[in-house]
Structure 1
Amino acid sequence: MILNKSVNRQPRKVHAFWLFFPAASLLAAMAVPLSVWAVWSGTGWPAGLLGSGHGHELIFGFALALIAGYTLGPQPASLLYPLFGLWLAARLSWLLLPDSFSAQLLSPVFALALAWYVVPRFHAAKKWRNRIVGPLILLICLLAVIFGLSGALSVPDEPWLPDPFRLMHSAITGLLLLMTFMGGRIIAPAVAGTLEKKGIPLDARVQPRIEGMLIVVLGCSVFLTAFPVMNPVTGFLLILASGLITLRILRWKPWLCRERPDLLVLTAGYGWLAIGALATGLALVMGTALIPSLHLITVGALGILSTSVMLRLAWQRSHRRPPAAGEVFPIAAILSAAAVSRFLAGESPFSEPGLLWLSATLWALAYLWVTFRLFVLARHLQKPGK
């Protein structure tokens, strides 16, 4: 009787992704078209999405919410809801009053709070490759703090000192590394398990040597991207990373998993990592604009991988099975078209408003649909007997 009372007193835990995933998806759906509207309309509203602001929200708002939802796991409401409230307050402050003290404070505070709870989870791993996730998440969180200080510390025309835009590029490269590692850890065992059921052995699973090389190559790129003087070296490293990612995909043989559309779409998103890394590397080597190629990473790779992971996790939790083809194929196609449209819009996208608006609209439609589906799946889980 005493044992039952102590068990009942334990706080009820909530899966973090049911809270952070829909919020992140809704933010993504709103931020991109609003950032285009802020410039195109001439109103400058919302101010927080002008210039590097929309990149700030998609990395330090959207991406960090994805990390929170995926890595926090079940948490007591007393921890999860205040953390989510901090994230929401940071987003509203940045969108409406980006130059205010609250905006400059809340976003870094959320990033540091998230790192405080998430990073220690990865310390128990024995192999250095398995422990890289914690420091990498910490780095992305710290970049949210450094970004706020960079405007005051940067010196114009000084190639050895990073400005806010270059720090944003470093954060994107950090996300490239994080998606490369985490995506591989999701795809490899899933593909291997699917092929084993069909009697097809897969020797190349995690591929530790290639994974280790990718961690080193992209880890160096994260640091070097912040310094324009190192562009040729960074470009070569990203081209090398693109080749390694492509080789890794080929050794997985995902085309043999036609009955698993969720794995095919995840692999397609992983392929966008190779495309984005190659295009960005070539731009750095040739001295051309980085913005179009970076959007291949943020729109193509991040878009497809994030929507796939969100839907896959929600479907597994609510229905105990992966999403069907009709759930994931259209979203992957829409986001691929959005990535190509934004790339074709070039360095000065407002000179190609049709392509820019097409990209923003497709991106928003994809994430609005994901937001809707997440709410439907959450309600299904709340039905009696679930």
Structure 2
Amino acid sequence: MSDARKKPAQNSSSRVRNWSGPSVLSFGYRPFFLVASVWALLAMALWLLALAGVPVLGSRFDPITWHAHEMLFGYLGAALAGFMLTAVPNWTGRLPVLGWPLAGLVAIWGAGRLAVATSSLMSPYLTAAADVAFPLALFVLILREVAAGRSWKNLPLLALFGFFILGNMLFHVDAAQGRFAANGVGMRLGVATAIMLISLVGGRVIPSFTRNWLVKAGRAALPAAFGIIDKLVLISTALALFIWTVFPSSPLISELFILVGMGQLVRLMRWRSWAVRQEPLLWVLHAGYLFVPLGFLALGLSGLSTGLVPFLGALHLWMAGGIGIMTLAIISRASLAHAGKPLHASPRLAMAYNLVLLSVLLRFLAAYPVGNGWAAHISAILWLAGYALFTWHFWPIWMAKPVARRF
């Protein structure tokens, strides 16, 4: 690395350490990982109350539509913000966003959540504008940083975030026109973008982190390097998700999803998942990625034979499993690394992972008649317990004074 690249990194470290305001505003991952985790709890609790008939929401959206929107665009939007604001200084060598500008971004995110929750009091387009203001502001900020740092190789990830924003816009359009937005093109585009992001980012970090751990443990067999199989899987994944988003009733989609699911499984098997079962901080990454191929296979089977795999159960393998567990894994790793903590999951953190994992499995079962309502309720309770434990574990880390380290 040249001296020109080293100097901004050192300045970033000094800038974070010298921030005299609230510690939670000293780096992008802190406030956004915090609000994402709290929102995963609060949004689930509000949804359960709304389903029970308690008037806790003044949203124009029905409870299912509100739940789908907030877990995808609300929760994941905050998690993505924390990830990107933390990664961009490493990508570009530029100074991180911190302090009151960071607080402003969090406030805009919170205003979007409030607008959607009280949308019956305003026009649907004002609601959409308030909600989409945050991801648009974040997009412009990240684009400016990438361009200034000439980090052009990261433009594909930013482009995917642009599709995520478009999905949110289309979701609001569906809702404003009286369609069931939770099953509309905006929802599919948002989910498809999230799964593609997991495929790309997961393909970078999971083999890398696994390799590092296995080398340190003295293991000879290591994850396969990125190669032709990965390229073919990524291309076929993008194609399948595009067709599903735009032409969900295509007669080819079920078979294509099954093929892509098998390809994604082969890709995951090449990363030696079974070899890291002793370290929860690693196996949770593999477990989160596992729900990508499982979702493809389940959705493919759902289209082939009605009743074999219910659509809603299959979709939750992606929503609660792939997105929910993978975000837990990324938040954990990034928070520990940037706080200078050992990259190891404590028993309490491992318990949080297991609770959320069990919640996902029960949510899938809840789509079948055998679930009969009880599985969904227990799933929600386990989700709340898992995220509560997770938030309790990381709260002191997100609030602590920054440590002296390089970014």
Give the alignment's TM-score, normalised by structure 2. 0.81
Amino acid at match of 1:179: I
Q: Does 1:298 align with 2:322?
A: no
Residue number in structure 1 paired with 2:35: 23
Map 1:1-386 onto structure 2 (within 5 A).
12=19, 14-41=26-53, 43=55, 45=57, 47=59, 48=61, 50-73=63-86, 74-97=96-119, 100-101=122-123, 102-119=126-143, 124=150, 131-152=155-176, 165-197=184-216, 198-202=218-222, 204-205=224-225, 207-227=226-246, 230-287=249-306, 289-346=310-367, 352-381=372-401
- What are the superposed Cα offsets for residues 180-225 of structure 1, whole Å, 9 maximum, x if unpaired? 21122111111112222315153613x2323322332222233322
Distance 1:286-1:120 versus aligned 2 partners, 3 A rule: farther
What is the alpha-carbon distance in structure 2 between the residues aligned to residue 96 and residue 244 of structure 1?
43
CA RMSD in angstroms, aligned pairs only: 3.2
Distance 1:77-1:383 versus aligned 2 partners, 3 A rule: closer
Residue number in structure 1 paired with 2:22: none
- What are the superposed Cα offsets for residues 326-366 of structure 1, whole Å, 9 maximum, x if unpaired? 144222221121112111221799x8332121111111111
User: Does the residue aligned with 1:321 lie in a helix, a strand or coil?
Assistant: coil
User: Does the residue aligned with 1:232 lie in a helix, a strand or coil?
Assistant: coil
Distance 1:54-1:98 versus aligned 2 partners, 3 A rule: farther
Distance 1:103-1:224 versus aligned 2 partners, 3 A rule: same
Distance 1:274-1:119 versus aligned 2 partners, 3 A rule: farther
Q: In the TM superposition, what is the alpha-carbon distance from 1:166 to its structure 2 partner?
A: 3.8
Distance 1:202-1:120 versus aligned 2 partners, 3 A rule: farther
Amino acid at match of 1:108: V
Distance 1:354-1:378 versus aligned 2 partners, 3 A rule: same
Distance 1:323-1:54 versus aligned 2 partners, 3 A rule: same
Amino acid at match of 2:396: V
What is the alpha-carbon distance in structure 2 between the residues aligned to residue 247 and residue 319 of structure 1?
34
Q: In the TM superposition, what is the alpha-carbon distance from 1:227 to its structure 2 partner?
A: 4.2
Distance 1:352-1:228 versus aligned 2 partners, 3 A rule: farther
User: Does the residue aligned with 2:36 lie in a helix, a strand or coil?
Assistant: helix
Amino acid at match of 2:380: A
Distance 1:213-1:94 versus aligned 2 partners, 3 A rule: same
| Structure 1 unaligned regions, length at least 5 | 1-6, 157-161
Q: In the TM superposition, what is the alpha-carbon distance from 1:68 to its structure 2 partner?
A: 0.3
What is the alpha-carbon distance in structure 2 between the residues aligned to residue 367 and residue 92 of structure 1?
21
| Structure 2 unaligned regions, length at least 5 | 1-10, 20-24, 87-95
Distance 1:40-1:115 versus aligned 2 partners, 3 A rule: same
What is the alpha-carbon distance in structure 2 between the residues aligned to residue 266 and residue 384 of structure 1?
27
What is the alpha-carbon distance in structure 1 between the residues aligned to residue 101 and residue 373 of structure 2?
44
- What are the superposed Cα offsets for residues 4-36 of structure 1, whole Å, 9 maximum, x if unpaired? xxx899994831110000101111111123213
> What is the number of equivalent residue pairs in this alignment?
371
Q: Is the 8 A contact 1:232 1:285 kept in 2?
A: no
Distance 1:346-1:254 versus aligned 2 partners, 3 A rule: closer
Q: Is the 8 A contact 1:231 1:285 kept in 2?
A: no
Q: Is the 8 A contact 2:164 2:190 kept in 1?
A: yes
Amino acid at match of 1:39: L
What is the alpha-carbon distance in structure 1 between the residues aligned to residue 63 and residue 223 of structure 2?
48
Q: Is the 8 A contact 1:283 1:290 kept in 2?
A: yes
What is the alpha-carbon distance in structure 1 between the residues aligned to residue 326 and residue 47 of structure 2?
22
Q: In the TM superposition, what is the alpha-carbon distance from 1:98 to its structure 2 partner?
A: 5.1
Q: Is the 8 A contact 2:27 2:97 kept in 1?
A: yes
User: Does the residue aligned with 2:26 lie in a helix, a strand or coil?
Assistant: strand
What is the alpha-carbon distance in structure 2 between the residues aligned to residue 363 and residue 344 of structure 1?
15
Q: Is the 8 A contact 1:183 1:270 kept in 2?
A: yes
Distance 1:18-1:228 versus aligned 2 partners, 3 A rule: same
- What are the superposed Cα offsets for residues 207-259 of structure 1, whole Å, 9 maximum, x if unpaired? 23233223322222333223455343232332222212211221111322345
What is the alpha-carbon distance in structure 2 between the residues aligned to residue 285 and residue 99 of structure 1?
42
Q: Is the 8 A contact 1:217 1:238 kept in 2?
A: no
Amino acid at match of 2:48: V
Q: Is the 8 A contact 2:214 2:222 kept in 1?
A: yes
What is the alpha-carbon distance in structure 1 between the residues aligned to residue 231 and residue 167 of structure 2?
23
Amino acid at match of 2:222: L
Residue number in structure 2 paired with 1:159: none
Q: RCO higher in 1 or 2 (8 Å CA, sep ≥ 6)?
A: 2
